[in-house]
Structure 1
Amino acid sequence: MPISEPESERSDTPEAESGSGQIDLQKADLTAVYSALQTSPKGLTQAEAKTRLERYGPNSIQEKEQSALLKFLRFFWGPIPWMIEAAALLSALIGHWPDFAIIMALLLYNAVAGFWQEHKASNALAALKASMAPQAEVLRDGKFQIVAAADVVPGDIVRIKLGQVVPADVRFIDGKSISIDQAALTGESLPASKKIGDIGYSSSIAKRGEMTAVTIGTGRNTFFGRTAKLVAGAGQGASHSQKAVTHIGDFLIVLCLVLALLLVGTQLYRDIVIAPSWHWSDIINILRTVLVLLIASIPVAMPSVITVTNALGALALSRKKAIVSRLESIEELAGVDILCSDKTGTLTKNQLSLHDPKLFGAKDNTELILAAALASEPGSSDPIDQAIFAGLKDKSQINKFKLKEFTPFDPVTKRAQAEVIDRQGNTLSFCKGAPQAVMALCKISGHSAEKAKSCVQELATRGLRSLGVARSEGGSSWSLLGILSLEDPPRDDSKQTISRAREHGLQVKMITGDDVAIGKEIAAQVGIGQNIFAADNVFDQSEDMDHLPNKVVDCVERADGFGRVFPEHKYAIVKALQGRGHQVAMTGDGVNDAPALKQADCGIAVSGATDAARAAAAIILTAPGLSTVVDAIDEARKIFERIINYVLFRVSMTLDIMVVVVFATILFGFSPLTPVMIVLVALLDDIPIMTIAYDNTLLPKEPVHWEMRDLLLGSTIIGIFSIAQTMGLLLIGMEWLQNGQWQAWTPINKEQIQTIIFLQIVAGGHLLLFVVRSRAAFYTRPLPALKLFFAIVGTQILTVLMCGFGWLVPAIPWHIIGLVWLYMILWMFILDLVKKLLYRRLQDI
């Protein structure tokens, strides 16, 4: 949904209003920031805040809503709706009101079903808007007060405490330190420690500490707002499924127009030139014939059958722990050939754990880990502290020390420190932090310094985070106890899943906000590949992410993954791959992933994803790990195969009916099917065939796509042989009318010939479905699912009874029904041979 543009009198950025020139508020010194924003550490007055709110607009994501009526009316626009509407109009013109009622009912059903599915889909921008901080603590008129987050304006001084959501983009100006979790925005797996001058992003969460900050951006002019704008502009094109249905509709419209012109032209030539007997009432007969042709040409239930097949497929996917939010995404997922996966929590466990410690002054690992635990905050939600406490085997050892003073991690000194008293009454100090900071505190030099630096570098190349630990007795001098290493290990099934994905024709690319070294280490462990690039080295921020240079797209295509990725990078990666003809699936869990999730052919929100990611995604996983994605792709390919089989059947049968109606009318002067019969054919064909969603099918080993050339070519060839089958039976029937001996044995009339053709179209069509549902011989495995088999058998019994007893159609003798069935079974083997030759030929192309 597009984000509304600000009113013309509003300035997009505070710099435009400051008169001090365009400056980067994220990087400028604080004095320049105060000047550009016309504010100070004393904050704004209520009057100034009100003026700025009018100038810059509310601190929220503005969106334009399309009316529900317009959304609903869109479902009456397109090739297949046009065909249905034209048939309804013709029915009304010539007074065929039963036909009109049935056709309008089908049209409304398709529109209502489509509108309901779209209405159910969650809106990504609504979730983004809902996740904004509802309140903020701002300095107004010299005192802090609580206001709605939407009322925060550029230049406001805000106070941010533990557990609060950062209400806007800010620069920190006062306070000791603060740690904020911005993983959902930037993809960083650890909370970021901030100091005076650092930036804080809107919608990130304070995990530790308290600071005040000056607001530098609100609403759409925040990191969060720009992400929302990317979401709004992403994924606006029609899906591959919608394009395929449009192609099929166009194909049938063109064919219908050609046949209609041929039919009308022939009829007019006969009435005006050959045997001049023209009367205006003849136009009704011509329109009635065109109506029959038009109804025959419309695959009225195709959208409904595809919808139901996808819906039942979505139920099957839910059992695979994948919830489908947009049904057409199933077909997109089946064609995916590149899977862009985030790292943390998908390929890895998202649980920091201690790796092999490097000992210096500590006598063993236990002493080193205990020292790190004493320098940590008990009960902390910090992942590093939690990993250290988890690695401490005997937690009762902490009770031997009494905490005297604890200093949380300081982003300036880059270490946390604790002063404790042991049971002997000795005062000891312990610290942990960045290795360089701890080494400087310990003042190590010479061989020890070289060894420590080498250890840190070696850990970095392996993608491990390092943590220095030191101790001081009496606080006079510090000794380096050792270096802890931390890792977020791969999930136990990740390597096997990557291998399985490759076997299924999928290329997996890792997309992570962590550093390249960490990405390479994890990629090596799970078998993705080592060709990992830093996103900021590949993408130039000044470039249009929708139109990247070829060298950048080449790099994206050959890369195994990217590190240090931002939202616009993820979006650009997806766009670049799509531009090269790939169908792309993107996994993600945060606000930062929302634009790419929406732009991707199939966005997948992983287990534990934010509301924004879930709303932007087409599929939501409820189980962790990448294996669920591959399971979902397998299931989607089976679903897609069922839809392709149905389309192949439906187009072939539509061709059969259209051509037979036209040529029979031209050659014999009457339509072999009445409008009511054609409507009955549609009902008897499509309603039970919805059970094709349950059919058994082989799992394709490669991605499957809407190959329209092959699909229409195959449908046409099979349709031609189906036409030969129906025309052959019609010719036999017409010969029967002229043959005295046959008439003496079993007399039939033209109306009964229409019933014979009706029986052949319905029964032969279902036998054709058994033929096209398998690439091999129709009698080999996988055999039809019981639901499909019995639904078709039930329909055939009903059709035979209709023809035998004359329900809604003229009755025909039972032995004629038997002969028609024998004729169709012989043709079933002929069509099966044609199908196998056709598939063999298409594979060779």
Structure 2
Amino acid sequence: MPSSLRTADDGSTPGQAVPAFWSRSADEVLTALGSSTGGLTTQQADAALEGQTSRRSEATREASSWHLLLRQFVSPIELILVAATVLSGILGDWTDAGIILVILVLSGVLGFVQERNAGKAMKALLASVEVTAQVLRDGERVAVAMDEVVPGDVAVLSAGDLVPGDCLVLTSRELVVDESALTGETFPVEKRPGIIPAAAAIAERANEVFLGTHVSSGTATVVVVHTGAHTEIAAVSARLRSPAPRTGFERGMTAFGLLLGRVMLVFAGVILLLNIALDRSVLDSVLFALALAVGVTPQLLPAIVSISLAQGARAMARQRVIVRRLDVIEDFGAMRILCSDKTGTMTQGRIELGAALTHDGADSATVAELAALNAGLQQGWKNPIDEAIIRAHPPGADAEAIDELPYDFRRKRLSVLVRRGGAAEPVVVTKGALADVLAVCTEARTSTGTVPLDEAAGQIQQTFATLSAGGFRVLGVAMRPLRVDQLQLGDEAHMTFMGLLTFADPVKPDAAATVADLVDAGVSVRMVTGDNRLVAAHVAAAVGLDISRVWTGADIDDLDDAALAAALQGVEVFSEMNPLQKERVVHAFRATGEVVGYLGDGINDAPSLHAADVGISVDTAVPVAKQSAAIVLLDKDLGVLLHGVRQGRQTFANTMKYIFMTTSANFGNVLSMAFAAVTLPFLPLLAGQILLVNLLTDLPAATIATDRVDAEQLRRPREWNTRLIGRYMLVFGSLSTVFDLTTFVVLRVGFDADATEFRSAWFVGSVLTEVGVLFVLRTRHPFFRSRPSGWLVLASVVVAAVAVALPYSDAAGALGLERIPAGLLAVVVLITVGYLAATEVMKRFFWRTR
């Protein structure tokens, strides 16, 4: 609906509407929402949330469950098979129709249960890294989950925060918001209180902040007016349903699906025409052809993938790695380039103030005091540098903050207007990147007094270079007396440079070994940092990165995208980088065909986290970084990340096991039955029996996610290879067919088996060969040297026992089976053993040639 006519969300006071709220005063909007500048009461918020949940969340959960269940039955082949089965029943063959429908329902329900359980497990894991918003409840500032924010909530925003809804700005201090997710505008925009005309476009509403955007710098209080489906970004999304970029895993699944589709069409078409040419029942021929088409596909693949990915996510959680998007696990394991900041990953992340120094490197209590005032009295997000200053030098109790200019990534400075000890004249204290602090200074304080900046600049740069080369991060401190009550950006001028701050963040003792382990695992580590090139080079050398070419942001800006992609392969250290430059580096690596991961936790990392194949953040990151990431580390440690990469590879390896084994076994069985269908005087298996074989043999495969993986499968990144799957299917499927045809000859010539006896023996043989070959093909080693998981063994033994028992059970007649003579059963088992031995030999030859 048009935003000017949109009413307040479900949580607002019943009957109240806030049309075009950006054109109304703050008091009007607060009154319409039943709120105040102190926010909602807990009782109001709970009531609003209950209504919001009952109207949306439960409906969404129910819709999702029904959608998940129905998805198990919407395969075109399955729908056709159901229709043909119903037709069979109408024509009087209700027994076969009932059996096939029961098997289809069991298969669908199994997939539904497994996928739903996987989804619940993921929901529990995601709760541990939930992003929250700071809102006022009962006048107190509390953290609540983003989806528990309701209209009428007054939220407190600061740098790095995600905006929790479409909100009206009540108060702001230099608030700058990145709206690129909504408007596509590259540069952040300033927001302030006020009244905007009702007809104003989204980009013109300077008094409104939107869901899906985040705070770049500054602080504000806002009142939430719309949430969820009533927000502008939801309306835009509804109009512009552009698909998200597909992951490598999704692209592989699509290619695999096309491969199976071609195989199914060929099999179904040829078999149907041959059976009709042999004057067999058209209905039986259609059912048989369709059952073969279904038989060549791994029917439980969606469920197996979900189980494998959820199992992998739980295993990664035990290593303190939380997966926010399951579909990224494969890319995590396939990652070849990791772009990472140094702080907390390569260094210990415990930043300590080393010293407060004059321009020439002498200790200075004055510089320490000014730094303490700046860090301790500012109201925005206190980063580790501010916390290190406060730990070393708490601000004096007699100082008070009057105003501030928050830090942003354009200015790279933070300024606080302070009054000390009752002094009449306040002072502005500024700290930040040395070059950006010097840019607003005209004088410098020295041991002989205040001198023009030009006279001290050489000594300042020499001190800076010496400290940086020693691995210290260096900031500048400046001040200026200023008799005002409110700071403006222009007030950062004509300042006096007071001195430098040094910060030590020692390299982790195991960082070099971990970087070497990542490189050995096929992951090339690239340092991408905002620190100056001297500090970056010092840390990079300590962890074993190549520092022969250390690029800066200026080097990035000198190249266009194509030239950048061609030139950066040999560069391992990128320094003095702003957010846009970091994002360009990620895009450039991806343009070369690499799978790129990006590890970051700051506001300036959000664009790169979006751009990477695998965005990785940490639990202590600012909200926008954590929300942008697909992977969240509970410990900021490259060693933890390496564990996650290996687990991602294990998950992918187990998924591929299922695909390799099932497609080759199914292909062999279907090819065998296709031969039999045109050479035997009867169909080798009925449609219901084919589906029952598929159901039974998929049950052990459902446990494949728990299986162990050979060590060499974890050493290098792995990706989809559809051509390899096709070759594997042809080689091992054809080998299976050779033994199947041998079985057919033995049954018809050696035992003169009629239709029912033939089907009974072949039914048991099909299940035994598919279950047995799991243990041979699950490893590239000799099968007896690679121990399978206990669940896989248990499920396989149970399924094999059920398959052997069915012909002797009371259900045999309904299934079209009969008792198998002991001699015939022994021959079937002997042929199965011979097939497994031949497969073991073929496996060694197949992998050795590749």
TM-score of the aligned structures, taking structure 1 as reference length: 0.69
Alignment partners' CA distance in 2, 1:612 and 1:455: 36
After the TM superposition, which of the residue ranges 656-665 and 611-620 deviates more from structure 2? 611-620
- Does 1:717 pair with 2:731? yes
* Contact 2:522/2:716 (<8 A) preserved: yes
Deviation at 1:718, TM superposition (A): 0.7
Deviation at 1:603, TM superposition (A): 2.5
Pick from 507, 523, 526: which aligns with 1:506?
523
Deviation at 1:78, TM superposition (A): 11
Alignment partners' CA distance in 2, 1:415 and 1:7: 40
1:678-689 counterparts in 2 under 5 A? Answer: 678-689=690-701
* Contact 1:513/1:565 (<8 A) preserved: yes
* Contact 1:118/1:326 (<8 A) preserved: no
Deviation at 1:711, TM superposition (A): 1.8
Deviation at 1:234, TM superposition (A): 9.5
Deviation at 1:161, TM superposition (A): 10
Alignment partners' CA distance in 2, 1:351 and 1:182: 29
Give a deviation string over 1:570-612, Cα, whole Å, max 9, x none.
5544444333222222223355544543453332232213444
* Contact 2:600/2:609 (<8 A) preserved: yes
**What are the ranges of 5 or more consecutive residues in structure 1 without an aligned counterpart?**
9-42, 51-63, 136-147, 153-158, 187-197, 204-213, 272-277, 422-428, 471-478, 739-747
Deviation at 1:354, TM superposition (A): 2.7
Alignment partners' CA distance in 1, 2:513 and 2:763: 54
The amino acid across from 1:443 in the alignment is T
* Contact 2:313/2:323 (<8 A) preserved: yes
Alignment partners' CA distance in 1, 2:838 and 2:703: 26
The amino acid across from 2:104 in the alignment is I
* Contact 2:605/2:625 (<8 A) preserved: yes
- Does 1:270 pair with 2:284? no
The amino acid across from 2:779 in the alignment is S
Alignment partners' CA distance in 1, 2:762 and 2:414: 89
- Does 1:785 pair with 2:769? no
- Paired position in structure 2 for 1:39: none
Deviation at 1:104, TM superposition (A): 4.5
- Paired position in structure 2 for 1:644: 656
- Paired position in structure 2 for 1:667: 679
* Contact 1:235/1:598 (<8 A) preserved: no
- Paired position in structure 2 for 1:776: 781
- Paired position in structure 1 for 2:268: 260
- Paired position in structure 2 for 1:297: 296
- Paired position in structure 1 for 2:572: 560
Counterparts in 2 of 1:719 and 1:539: CA distance versus 1, 3 Å = farther
Counterparts in 2 of 1:340 and 1:74: CA distance versus 1, 3 Å = farther
* Contact 1:338/1:509 (<8 A) preserved: yes
Give a deviation string over 1:278-300, Cα, whole Å, max 9, x none.
9xxx3223223223323322321
Alignment partners' CA distance in 2, 1:75 and 1:572: 42
Give a deviation string over 1:424-481, Cα, whole Å, max 9, x none.
xxxxx999966855734732599987544411243356562144699xxxxxxxx999
Identity of paired residues, percent? Answer: 20
- Does 1:331 pair with 2:330? yes
Counterparts in 2 of 1:168 and 1:99: CA distance versus 1, 3 Å = closer
SS at match of 1:508: strand
Give a deviation string over 1:224-252, Cα, whole Å, max 9, x none.
49999899899813333333333333223
- Does 1:538 pair with 2:552? no
Alignment partners' CA distance in 2, 1:256 and 1:45: 63
Counterparts in 2 of 1:796 and 1:304: CA distance versus 1, 3 Å = same
Deviation at 1:82, TM superposition (A): 2.1
* Contact 1:134/1:149 (<8 A) preserved: no
- Paired position in structure 1 for 2:282: 283
Alignment partners' CA distance in 1, 2:691 and 2:352: 66
The amino acid across from 1:268 in the alignment is I
The amino acid across from 1:759 in the alignment is V
- Does 1:794 pair with 2:798? yes
Alignment partners' CA distance in 2, 1:711 and 1:163: 45
* Contact 2:165/2:211 (<8 A) preserved: no
- Does 1:762 pair with 2:776? no
- Paired position in structure 1 for 2:83: 89
Alignment partners' CA distance in 2, 1:432 and 1:568: 25
Deviation at 1:385, TM superposition (A): 5.5
- Does 1:824 pair with 2:832? yes
Give a deviation string over 1:373-409, Cα, whole Å, max 9, x none.
88677687575564345457xx9xx9xxx97667889
After the TM superposition, which of the residue ranges 344-353 and 763-772 deviates more from structure 2? 344-353
- Paired position in structure 1 for 2:482: none
- Does 1:705 pair with 2:710? no
- Paired position in structure 1 for 2:542: 525
Pick from 755, 761, 775: which aligns with 1:750?
755
- Does 1:306 pair with 2:323? no
Alignment partners' CA distance in 1, 2:176 and 2:26: 33
Pick from 820, 831, 841: which aligns with 1:833?
841
Deviation at 1:336, TM superposition (A): 1.2
Give a deviation string over 1:90-132, Cα, whole Å, max 9, x none.
222222133134325534664686688779779x9xx999859
The amino acid across from 1:319 in the alignment is R
Deviation at 1:515, TM superposition (A): 4.8
Counterparts in 2 of 1:786 and 1:48: CA distance versus 1, 3 Å = closer
- Paired position in structure 2 for 1:98: 99
Pick from 736, 740, 751: which aligns with 1:726?
740
Give a deviation string over 1:166-212, Cα, whole Å, max 9, x none.
9999xxxx99xx799999999xxxxxxxxxxx986799xxxxxxxxx
The amino acid across from 2:793 in the alignment is F
Counterparts in 2 of 1:418 and 1:249: CA distance versus 1, 3 Å = closer
After the TM superposition, which of the residue ranges 101-110 and 113-122 deviates more from structure 2? 113-122
SS at match of 1:485: strand
- Paired position in structure 1 for 2:632: 620
The amino acid across from 1:286 in the alignment is S
Deviation at 1:266, TM superposition (A): 2.2
* Contact 1:553/1:577 (<8 A) preserved: yes
After the TM superposition, which of the residue ranges 635-644 and 718-727 deviates more from structure 2? 635-644
* Contact 2:617/2:632 (<8 A) preserved: yes
* Contact 2:316/2:647 (<8 A) preserved: yes
Alignment partners' CA distance in 2, 1:185 and 1:292: 51
SS at match of 1:328: helix
Counterparts in 2 of 1:611 and 1:420: CA distance versus 1, 3 Å = closer
Counterparts in 2 of 1:165 and 1:109: CA distance versus 1, 3 Å = closer
Give a deviation string over 1:38-74, Cα, whole Å, max 9, x none.
xxxxx99959999xxxxxxxxxxxxx99999699769
* Contact 2:177/2:214 (<8 A) preserved: no
Alignment partners' CA distance in 2, 1:361 and 1:515: 19
* Contact 2:309/2:651 (<8 A) preserved: yes
Alignment partners' CA distance in 2, 1:91 and 1:117: 31
SS at match of 1:237: coil
Q: Aligned pairs, how many?
A: 706
Larger radius of gyration: 1
Deviation at 1:793, TM superposition (A): 2.1
After the TM superposition, which of the residue ranges 367-376 and 676-685 deviates more from structure 2? 367-376
- Paired position in structure 2 for 1:443: 450
Give a deviation string over 1:8-42, Cα, whole Å, max 9, x none.
9xxxxxxxxxxxxxxxxxxxxxxxxxxxxxxxxxx
TM-score of the aligned structures, taking structure 2 as reference length: 0.69
1:163-202 counterparts in 2 under 5 A? Answer: none
SS at match of 1:443: strand
Alignment partners' CA distance in 2, 1:309 and 1:76: 21
Alignment partners' CA distance in 2, 1:361 and 1:576: 41
Pick from 654, 660, 667: which aligns with 2:666?
654
Cα RMSD, aligned residues only: 5.5
- Does 1:691 pair with 2:698? no
- Does 1:495 pair with 2:500? no
Counterparts in 2 of 1:249 and 1:103: CA distance versus 1, 3 Å = farther
Counterparts in 2 of 1:334 and 1:658: CA distance versus 1, 3 Å = same
Alignment partners' CA distance in 2, 1:686 and 1:162: 51
Alignment partners' CA distance in 1, 2:783 and 2:392: 61
SS at match of 2:684: coil
